[in-house]
Every structure is written in C-alpha cells, then in structure tokens.
Chains A and B, each alone.
Chain A
Amino acid sequence: MVTEYVEGSTGAELNKREFKVIGTRPPRPDGIDKVTGRALFGADLTAPGMLHATILRSPHAHARIISIDTSAALAMSGVKAVVTSQDFVKQSSSGNQDTLDNCMARGKVLYDGHAVASVAATSVKVANAALKLIKVEYEVLPHETDVDGAMLDTAPVLHEGRKFRNIPEGNNANVSGYWEFGHGDLDAGFAKADIIIERSFKTAATHQGYIEPHATLATMGPDGRGEIWVCTQGHYMVRDLSAAFIGIETSQLRVTASEIGGGFGGKTTVYLEPVALALSKKAGRPVKMVMTREEVFRATGPTTSSSTDIKIGMTKDGRITAGQAKLRYQGGAYPNITAMLGAMTAFASYDLDAVQTLAWNVLTNRPKQAAYRAPGAPMAIYTVESVVDELCQKLGLDPLEVRLMNAAKKGTLSSYGPTFDEIGLVATLEAAKAHPHYTAPLGPNQGRGVSCGFWFNFAGNTSVSMNINEDGTVAVIEGNPDIGGSRASISMMAAEELGIPLEKVRTIVADTNSIGFNDVTDGSRVTFAVGLATIKAARAAIKNMCGRAAQVWGIDADAVDWVDGAAVPTGHNAGEFPPMTLAEIAADQAKTGGPIAGHHEVNVDGAGVSFGVHLVDVEVDPETGFTQIKRYTVFQDAGKAIHPDYVEGQMQGGAVQGIGWALNEEYIYGEDGKLQNAGFLDYRIPVASDLPMIDTVILEIPNPGHPYGVRGVGETGIVPPLAAVANGVSHAAGVRMFELPMSPPRILAAIDGAK
C-alpha cells in the first residue's frame, strides 16, 4: 500500500483509506511515568541556590494604589528581592499591557486577589512573613462583580479614560467589546412563526478546575540569559511575554514545558513566570513559585459569567423561522473576546433564514478571565438549546426530529458568516436518534435532556522535526505541551506515514530553543495541526530515504516509491531490486550522505468544525432539589479518531466539566466583592463517585483539510452538557430552569414557585 496521501482529498476518498496504526488503542506513552510519580510537573523542579517567592495580593475588589513601601520587607533576613509593577517594562500593545498588569497591578487593583508585589526569599515561610511587612496604602473604590450591574450608568468604571474600539453610543465605559453577526430578515422570520418564545438566562463563572496549580522555576544570569521551567499550555507564549515584560530578546530566554496536570484553556497565559524571572534578575538566583489553590481561584482566569436574552420563532411542525440572541458576558477586569465567540456559536447548529446575535463584553471587578474549552460557546448554546427544547415541549414535537429538520449541513450559510463544507451534525443527530438510550424508559422524577453543540476548532503555527536513527527508530520532536495525549497521536501518525511499528517511534516536546515556533496548545489544534506537520515531516524524510535507495540502486529517485516502510523500485525501467526497509536505509545513512531527517514548519489552516449531541437522563429529588445523573451518552464527530481512547476521554471529560457547570460550580462573591468559595470544598466539581460511566459514540466524517480527515475533539464535548442537563432537569422537576448552576436550593425554589 502506498502511504502517500493526495492533497485535497474529499471526505469520501479519505473514508476509503485503510490504516494500520491509526484507529488502534495502544498503551499511552506517558502512563507509566504518571502512575509511578516519575513524571516531572511544574512544582517538581528544583535548582541549586533556589529561592522561593510568594505574592502579596489585594484584599480589595477595587482600589487605587496610593503607595507601596517595600523597605521593611527588603530589610528582613532571608529576603533577596522584591518586585512591584515598577520592575517591568511598559508594553506597546494594549493586550500585552493588560496581561502584564494582571500579573502585577499598576496604579489600581481591580479585583480581590490581584497581585501587588512579590518577595523572593530563602523559604516560603520567610517570603510570606516578608509580605506582611509590605505597606500598601489604598484608596478603596466602589466595585461591581455582576455583568448587568457593570453595564449600568451608575456602575464604577474600571479603566477610567480608556477608549475601547468600535463601541456604539449608549454603552457605558465598562463595555470593552461589541459584536453583531447574522443574516436575513428577522421581522419577516418571526412573522412566519406559529409560536415565539423569549427567555432570559444567567450562567455563573466557573473555573477550569485543573488539578495542578500554576508553578514555575525561573533563572536569570548576570549575562542576561534566562531559563524558565513551567507547567503551561504554550511555552513559546511564556517565552515571548516574559521576555517582553522584563525587556530582553526572546533568543536569550529558553522555556521548557513540564508535564501538565490539566489546563483546559486556563494555562494559555502567564501569571507567575514573568514575576519569577524579574525576581531572579534582581536576586541573581533561581526563583521558584507555586500557587496555592486559593490563589488559583482568586487570581487565575475562570471563564466568563453571562446574562442572555433569547428569542426564537417556530412553526407548528417544528421549522425554526428566526432566532435572536443578546449576549452579555463579563470576563473580569480586562477585555476579552469570549462574548464574541458566544455570539458566533449560539445558532451554529441550525440552518436559518433569519438570525441575529449581538454580544457585549463587560468589565467587572473579578479576575481576568482565561479560555476554558470552547470559550463562550457552552453558555450561548445553553440558552438557544433550552428555548428550542421548550418550543418542542410546547408543540409536542420530538426534540431530535426538530433538530434534524433544522440542522446545519453542507451548503448551509452559517449564523456566523461562512457557508459550511462537509460537517457531521446530521450524522451525529441520526446516531443519537438510533441509540437505545434515546428510547429507554424513564423512572419517577426522571427527565431526559438533549442538546447539540458546536465548536470551530483551530490550527496555527506549527513546527515538527523527525530524526531517523541509525537503529531504525524514529525521534519526533514537536513544540506543543501534551495536554490530551498528543504524543501518542503524533507517534501514531508518524508510524502510519512511515509504515513502521509504533514501538519504533518516540515523540518528545522540545524547549523553545530546540525547534521552530509553535502556537499555544489550544483551540483543539494539536492532533490536527501538529499531526499534519508530522505527516509532512515524514514525507520529507521518506523523500530523502527514497533518494538514498535510488543512489544505492543506481536508478532515478523518481523511480522509487515508499511502500509499507520500505523503498521499492517502481515503473518498467526501474529494475528489479528487493525492498530496502527504513531500518536498512537508516543503518547505512552515514555512508549514503549523512543523517536523515524530515521537518515541516507551517501556519496550518483548514481545521474542520465539529458538532456533538448529548443525551442525559437525570433524576431530581423533589424534597431536596438534588440532581443525580443517571445515564449520559455523548455523540461527537471526530473526523478521524487517531487514538479512540483519547478521543473518548476528551468527550467524557468535556461532558463531566459541563455537568459541573450545569449543576454545582459557581464563583460566589460577597457584598464586599471578595470571593467566598476559593477552594474545592466550597467550589464543588463532580468526582467519579457522582457520575455514571459517560458513554461515547465517535462519528467519523472526515475533514478534507487533513490528510487523514482529523478534526479537533478537545473542546466540543463541553458545549452541549449545560443545555442537555438543564433540559433534563426541567423535564424531571416539571419546571423550566433559567439559571446555572441548578444547585439544589435553586431547583427547590423553582419547584416551590411553580406550585
């Protein structure tokens, strides 16, 4: 079998390809390291002479910094350095300046927990004692933590005098972003409807809940060269921001990513790294910083909370005639684009003649939001899917039949602009409809919820190198931290393309000085983009190896093909030679021209969008309002599942995080603007004992933009659960729910209110 793929293959052609490695379930390469404790996470690294640093954080939700006096802390025995915002370089880009100001407050503190100063000392104990000696004089200002409250003219302004771009008249100074999307005539669409439902929804801010807190070790020598070791989703991003913040060139800073104990989007920015580097620069010694769990909650990005108005019209037979959403998201104290992404995704599952989404991002006195799996989409789609469910309920229609009738498909003008190419929503809905779960009987106080979900998936800058070792093994070097099994899938794609056993391939994640630039591990991009670059790097190595074989045989390189891991002569005039295997070519590489390698560097495009459908059965206790998940099935289009175990894991993980978002998780702020539940005891994420097995059904509708048809799978899974669970609870409790989380008191209040 010739392993060459054809650029521009259609989905149907990709479907016919037979794979040997892709689609199998080999043991994960990092498994033994992780279960035996050999894997090195962010806090595991140490260095000779290392100092420990901690951070002084604001006790106020909003205050002007009048003065900071660090002299007593600096004079304390064991203290080696102190930094404040004065120790960093002003940034030319407003986005970078916001990130820097979030790392260390400049002029004002904007939320409870905002960093004000940091101390490096000989121990954590000494550093913490020194923090108490830092005198900060504040002028406390009024604060606002609610999205709707922050939009009022009476709300305190966070960034006085700052002009945000393209904000229409009539919005106050806390509105930092405004977007509109859609097409068609809304009035005409609603006029065709037999029934129109308008509802308002609220969702709470939730944290990504990664188990490993942020941790870093930084060292900066007197020669101006620095190193950072860090748990992150993107060490090139850490390098670029940290170097810019302390004013050195990127070539002088090498960053190495550790193993990562979860990210989910939350480790796509910097918090500690530039601070540790600045402290090391001052102290002349390595500096280690590890956040406490309380710091993770108070000062790192949760997702946005939202307040949304939704209006959908439908005919009696279930055709949606028009849809409109007005989404207001708060993402803390600095601008972000999450509301925009919510507006783009809200109606993406539907083929609509008339649709409009309007979105506002609003600043509040909360920590700067960070990405969280499919940022913006879960809360937007929750509102749309809740109203579609209510319309189906009122009209007595089957919710899956209605979604099939209105489903986006190839040729649909999407609600966010472009026309869809080959997509898998209909196939995913059909699979859910045919699954036994959908028709299984329900017990007392139980309800079944359904929801669609959508996410774009992204690609971006990617570099991969591949070395053919003399013993016939292969080393793949990539630059994206492995947050979801990418080393396994990259090795599998390399083995598939080279035609060699998987055991012969090992993939590592290199530091920033060892391979070309890579975008952050985000946007469900790595299996797609790094996989594509790996395949192309393998093709470059294959071309080289075919050339070596041609030289040995004395024939033209064009007369050599690569079949099942070996060079073979091809064509009538090529001559008769036995296949020359990769191992044979590798063994003689020094004699035939030197080391053999392949590499590929590219800004990848062509990520295929992904859809999912979730079914959930819930049981609501009418006495306590407690909700139990009884059965859960995820259907998702993966394009092509490289390692199905990991794909299923992503689908299950997304579902579980969405269940937590729907039922339990929320940031709770007091009247004083302080976070009241900064720990896992009071911020309740679902654990294994709370849940049934999450069943999965992988659909494979190939993405024409990838040689094997891969689509990203890391984010779509968190999109449908909010609405699926809310619809299930609404059916089980007999009352429609409009606010997340649907905690027991909130459900009881709704049940009591309906009596």
Chain B
Amino acid sequence: MVTVTLWGSLRSATGGLKDVEVEARNTGEMLKALAKKYPALESVIEGGVSVAIDGLIYKEAWFTPIKPDSEVVLMPYMKGG
C-alpha cells in the first residue's frame, strides 16, 4: 500500500480525506487505483496531473517505481514559461 497526499481542493472527491491509501507499485498503477477508488478523481487525473515522489516531481510517467514508504503527493499538472 502507498499513501497518497492530495492537494486541498481534491478532498471533496475523497470525502474530505487528505491522505488516501491505494495498492500500487508505480505511478501508473497509483493513478488507476485512485480513479477506481474515488471516481470523482477520474476526470481530474485524465485532465493531467503531476506526482511528487520523495520530493521529485514527475509528469505523465506511468512506470516510476513507488516504494511503500515513499512520500507520494498528487499535484496539479504544471507548466512554466
């Protein structure tokens, strides 16, 4: 199991939970599991998100490994100039 921290405005999709647990070994599995467990997150994830694993930000990388004790933060899709 990995614990995923959601950014604040997503908590309405998880019944107010800030941290949620899903079974996943990598980012792709984590995103699929989140969408399955919390259907209200599906459109957000499909629209594009970033994932921070142990402080490093990943975008659209399905196969980045997640260790059970990793810090995982779901973040909005970001873009610079």
Contacts and interface: CB of A to CB of B under 8 A. Distances in A.
A457 interface: yes
Interface string A694-737: 00000000000100000000010000000000000000000000
Interface string A328-369: 000000000100110010000000000010000000000000
Interface in A359-396: 370-375
A524 interface: yes
Contact of A522 (B47, B58, B61, B80): B80
Nearest to A607: B57
B80 A456 contact: yes
The 10 closest A-B pairs by CB, nearest first: A265-B81, A523-B80, A180-B8, A371-B81, A418-B52, A417-B73, A421-B55, A180-B9, A605-B58, A418-B73
Contact of B5 (A417, A523, A705): A417
Interface string A181-192: 110000000000
A265 B5 CA distance: 30
Interface in B49-81: 52, 54-61, 64, 71, 73, 75-81
Given A165-B44, A418-B75, A460-B59, 5 more contacts: A179-B8, A340-B78, A374-B81, A605-B61, A715-B81
Interface residues of A, number: 45
A463 B52 CA distance: 24
Nearest to A423: B55
A676 interface: no
B5 to A, nearest CB: 6
Nearest to B60: A603
A166 B9 contact: yes
A268 interface: yes
Contacts of B78: 337, 340-341, 344, 456, 458
A457 B52 contact: no
Given A165-B47, A182-B8, A417-B7, A606 B80 contact: no
Contacts of A340: 76, 78
A297 interface: no
B75 to A, nearest CB: 6
Contacts of B10: 166
25 contacts: A165-B44, A168-B12, A181-B7, A340-B76, A341-B78, A344-B76, A356-B8, A370-B81, A371-B81, A374-B80, A374-B81, A417-B7, A417-B52, A418-B54, A418-B57, A418-B71, A418-B75, A421-B54, A457-B80, A459-B59, A460-B59, A524-B80, A603-B61, A605-B56, A606-B56
Interface string A453-466: 00111111000000
Contacts of A111: none
Contacts of B73: 417-418
A506 to B, nearest CB: 28
A178 B57 contact: no
Contacts of A374: 80-81
Interface in A155-188: 165-166, 168, 178-182
Interface string A517-533: 00000111100000000
Contacts of A522: 79-81
A130 B47 CA distance: 42
Given A179-B7, A181-B7, A705 B56 contact: yes
Contact of B44 (A166, A458, A715): A166
Contacts of A606: 56
A738 interface: no
Interface in B7-45: 7-10, 12, 43-44
A416 B75 contact: yes
Contacts of B43: 165
A264 interface: yes
Contacts of A372: 81
Interface in A264-278: 264-266, 268
Q: Taking chain A's interface residues, is the majority helix, strand, or loop, or is none over half, making it mixed? A: loop
Nearest to A605: B58
A417 B75 contact: yes
Interface in A380-414: none
User: B interface, how many residues as a size bin?
Assistant: 20 to 34
Interface of A: 165-166, 168, 178-182, 264-266, 268, 337, 340-341, 344, 356, 370-375, 416-421, 455-460, 522-525, 603, 605-607, 705, 715
Contacts of A523: 79-81
Contacts of B60: 603
Contacts of B77: 337
A180 B80 contact: no
B58 A373 contact: no
A705 B71 CA distance: 17
Contacts of A458: 57, 59, 78-80
A525 B80 contact: yes
Given A165-B47, A605-B61, A455 B56 contact: no
B80 A181 contact: no
A641 B63 CA distance: 31
A524 B5 CA distance: 27
Nearest to A267: B81
The winner among B5, B9, B61, B79 for most chain A CB atoms within 10 A is B79
B1 to A, nearest CB: 19
Contacts of A178: 9
A371 B80 contact: yes
A7 to B, nearest CB: 14
Contact of B81 (A165, A166, A375, A705): A375
B76 A337 contact: yes
A344 B9 CA distance: 12
Nearest to A422: B55
Contacts of B76: 179, 337, 340, 344
B26 to A, nearest CB: 13
A421 B8 contact: no
Contacts of B61: 603, 605
B80 A455 contact: yes
A373 B59 CA distance: 20
A182 B64 CA distance: 25
Contacts of A264: 81
A421 B56 contact: yes
A473 B26 CA distance: 42
A525 B61 CA distance: 17
A80 B61 CA distance: 47
B8 to A, nearest CB: 3
The winner among B44, B55, B58, B64 for most chain A CB atoms within 10 A is B55
B7 A605 contact: no
Contacts of B7: 179-181, 416-417
Contacts of A420: 55
Contacts of B59: 458-460, 603, 605
A179 B77 CA distance: 12
A715 B80 contact: yes
Nearest to B71: A419
Contact of A268 (B5, B9, B75, B81): B81
B42 to A, nearest CB: 11
B37 to A, nearest CB: 18
A179 B75 contact: no
A673 B10 CA distance: 36
Contact of B79 (A180, A371, A607): A371
A344 B81 CA distance: 16
